[in-house]
Amino acid sequence: MSTIPLHTVALLPLLSGLRNAHAFITKASLHCTTTSTSPESLLTASLHPTMKDLRYQVYRFTDAAKFLPIRLNPALADRELKIPDVEQSFEELLERIQKTIRHLEEYKASDFDGVGSEDVIEVKFPGGKGFRMGVADHVARYSHPNFWFHVTTTYAILRMKGVDVGKLDFLNGAGEIEILDMEASLKDVTRIARLVADNTVSIGSSLAHVHVPGRREPEGDELKDGQVEIGMGIHNEAGSERKSTDLPGLVKTMLSHCLDVADQDRSFSRITDKDEVVLLVNNLGGVSPLELSGITHEVVEQLAGSFKIKPVRILAGTFMTSLNGLGFSISLLRVADTGSVGASMLELLDAPAEASGWSAAISSSTWARQGEAKKSEEQVDEEEIQPSTLRVNYAQANSTLTTALNRLIEAEPDVTRYDTIVGDGDCGIGLKRGAEAILKMLETAKETDDLLILVNHIIQVVEVAMDGTSGAIYAIFLNALAHGLRQNAPSSPQPVTPAIWAKALDSSLKALGKYTPAKPGDRTLMDALYPFVETLSKTDDIDKAAAAAQIGAQGTKGMKASLGRTVYVGGEGFQEVPDPGAHGLAELLLGLSDGLKK
């Protein structure tokens, strides 16, 4: 008949009790945060006037646990964990429990080899009293009952004070969710959960402490505008420092706290670029999905740039919130060997799960695929664009375009304001982004006197830099314009003339009609484009054509839309402002007119 090792019988039940106590005391701390209960009212509570308070109960059950190993084997006395009874807050008591757990986990079964069940243990109390017992009797009749008495009293105090704890919290408060479809034993589940915890480092930051519903706004200790609190806890615990910084600076500080091995107080997990790493970015409750994506991108970039770490999994979302916390946390998990459970740590993370707070799992096979799409920043060589016979003074063209594009950029606030009233507010930014991208191209592109090469370079920029419906319309129109210019080019190299421009613009306007039904009177950019093209065709005068575009754009004020977002936005805004797309185009064309005069 096999016997159970003393280590298993004596210490493992204490570890289970400590973890469960840590879990239901954590619940008590959260209870205070969410119900406006004073933590002190729980910490000083007792079951009876003749009994000690909650703090005292925690002191005693942690002492009972840490003293047992050295009573079982006095040769281990030099490893005694010394913790003075000075903890006051929930956070400090929880850390005391964690220290005790880590201490007991350091003992191995071999530390108790040679200790027999009949060996005598002598225990002395202050005042000289004491007793002697065999090892088995000491564990069964004194040490464990003493430990559980104080754990049970702690639980009972919290229950009495209204904390939502029950039998399952006492028996399995720290229990982990079952590994689905693997029929893993609770022992394996617990072991793997501890393995994950031991290989994870995490830090949070927030722009403000959370607002607890029903409680007045915090007073006196609020963060100043522009400040962020680094190290803030999930339960609204104060962080380690406050500073004014931008996102890159904040992420740099947070990752340094997690990964800088030079700081022994903060180097919790020695993760290196040789390890497989899982990154989890958690929304504390008040961060928008757009912002969280930007934060995640910055974390990934800095992990690669500063630490040469490329996560094998990136999980970003709202996993565990701190009410409306205006912040996020970064967690890094070093992938470790799970042993004999039949699945790797990554496979367990990728496994399907029905927990509502866990993002939909992506299969391991999908993660394993290598991305084939590659981004190229290279411009198309001039040799790849068929040369034309249309000639242009590059310096003059560059100057004219620069004047026009700068005028469009200066018009962005008005375009944005108009589009905010009658649309979704992005038209001005889209036009500005395209203008800035073309200006950047003009600064770096090779000089050329071939008009078609210059126009094609502009088309390449517009197709990449401008988004939305207006971006597509500009790209279609410019491609049609390039085709029209080539169709009307002379047989031998000659400067481009207003007549050639007019014919090409007219043909490109007709081509654009194949892709949009918009016509003058529909309150779109066509109300500026049509008058410009028609006037230029009739007069060969760009000044008059640009003026006609401006009149057309202004004429959209009060015009009811037939196409575009303005149709279903509603309201009376269209009575007050011109169509933003038409106004932006008119400003660009007026800029071209101004540029040609220089």
SS3 (DSSP) at 202: strand
What is the pLDDT at residue 1?
37
pTM over 0.75: no
DSSP E strands in 384-506: the ranges are 390-391, 494-495
Residue of 199, 200, 142, 144 lying closest to 15 (CA atoms): 144
SS3 (DSSP) at 492: coil
Residue of 331, 303, 81 lying closest to 200 (CA atoms): 331
Which residues, including other chains, have CB under 8 Å from residue 92's CB and lie 6 or more apart? 86
CB 30 within 8 A of CB 235: yes
**Domain 390-597 grouped into CATH 3.40.50.980:** no
Which residues make beta-bridge pairs with 280? 315, 331
Q: Burial of 37 by CB count in 10 Å (0-12 exposed, 13-18 middle, 19+ buried)?
A: middle
What is the pLDDT at residue 244?
87
DSSP E strands in 93-150: the ranges are 120-124, 130-134
CB 373 within 8 A of CB 554: no
**Residue for token pair 């401008």:** 466
Residue of 31, 27, 36 lying closest to 212 (CA atoms): 36
**pLDDT tens per residue across all 598 residues of the chain:** 345 678 888 888 999 899 989 989 988 888 887 788 899 999 999 999 999 999 999 999 999 999 999 888 888 888 889 999 999 999 999 999 999 999 999 988 888 887 876 677 777 766 667 777 888 888 888 899 999 999 999 999 999 999 888 887 787 655 443 444 556 677 888 888 888 888 888 898 888 877 667 666 654 467 777 788 888 777 767 777 888 889 999 999 899 888 877 766 655 567 888 889 999 999 988 889 999 999 999 999 999 999 999 998 899 988 888 888 888 999 999 998 887 666 788 888 888 777 777 875 676 667 666 555 555 544 545 446 788 999 999 999 999 999 999 999 999 999 999 888 877 778 889 999 999 999 999 998 889 999 999 999 999 999 999 987 888 899 999 999 999 999 999 889 999 988 899 899 999 999 998 888 888 888 888 999 999 999 999 998 999 999 999 999 999 887 766 655 554 444 455 567 898 999 999 999 999 999 988 7
Domain 6-173, architecture per CATH: Up-down Bundle (1.20)
Residue of 533, 510, 513 lying closest to 522 (CA atoms): 513
* Domain extents in the chain: 6-173, 186-211+224-370, 390-597
Residues with catalytic annotation?
Answer: 235
**Domain 186-211+224-370 grouped into CATH 3.90.1300.10:** no
Which residues make beta-bridge pairs with 281? 316, 330
What is the pLDDT at residue 521?
84
